Amino acid sequence: MRHWPLSLMLVVGLPVLAGCQTSPSTLPVAEPAPSAECRWSSDSASVRDRMRRAMAVLEAEGFTVRDTDPVLGLVSAERARTLPGTSGMYDPWERSSLFGGYGGFGSRGGFSGGVVVGLGGGYGGLGRDATRLERVSLVATSEETRVSRDSQVIDWRGEVHETRSASDADFCRRLREAMQAMPVEEASP
């Protein structure tokens, strides 16, 4: 039996299939775009003083400072908050109908009640609420200060269900005003 037709198809076919993969025409962009309030001209305070103020303000807001780099003027912080009442919202296994979940009599993974045929709803997901993770990065240079914030909703299994840029005008304005109102001595370590 001749194997040359298969070899010919591989030699011709693989380069053709390899050409189907292309790189994206544009790079990813933050959606929505960061607000103009998230970038402001620097005041008379030094880069290190603005970094200290930013760390103090973010910690007062419940953020945990994860990393700083004085050479780059970078402050990175994050906070995680539980979203009460979202236990079944992001969990398809916890959604049940009037007759229960996939077994037909009761809700899968939860509690159910009923009479004889298992009529009733289920209640599941105790302690399985989703978590909102917010990350903030602040870069202070001698000319300006820039802030970016993103937000993710993560379910109890660790699956990300929502991610977006959260660099909105209100957050950046409050951060800027709190940083400018804070005396340098109060922000010192």
Q: What are phi and psi of 24, to 5 degrees?
A: -65, 150
- Give Dmax over CA atoms of the chain in angstroms: 87
Q: Range(s) for CATH 3.30.530 in the chain? A: 29-91+128-189
Q: What are phi and psi of 147, to 5 degrees?
A: -125, 135
Written as tens digits, the pLDDT of the chain (189 aa) is 566 676 666 666 666 665 556 666 776 665 667 788 999 998 788 899 999 999 999 999 999 999 999 999 999 999 999 888 776 666 655 555 555 444 445 445 555 555 555 455 555 545 588 899 999 999 999 999 999 999 999 888 888 888 888 889 999 999 999 999 987 666 655
pTM for this model (two decimals): 0.65
Sign for the pseudo-dihedral over CA of 163, 164, 170, 174: positive
Structure tokens at 37: 């309030």
- Read off the amino acid at residue 63: F
In DSSP notation, 7-60 reads HHHHHHHHHHHHTT----SS----SSPPPGGGEEE--SS-HHHHHHHHHHHHHH
CATH topology of domain 29-91+128-189: Alpha-D-Glucose-1,6-Bisphosphate; Chain A, domain 4 (3.30.530)
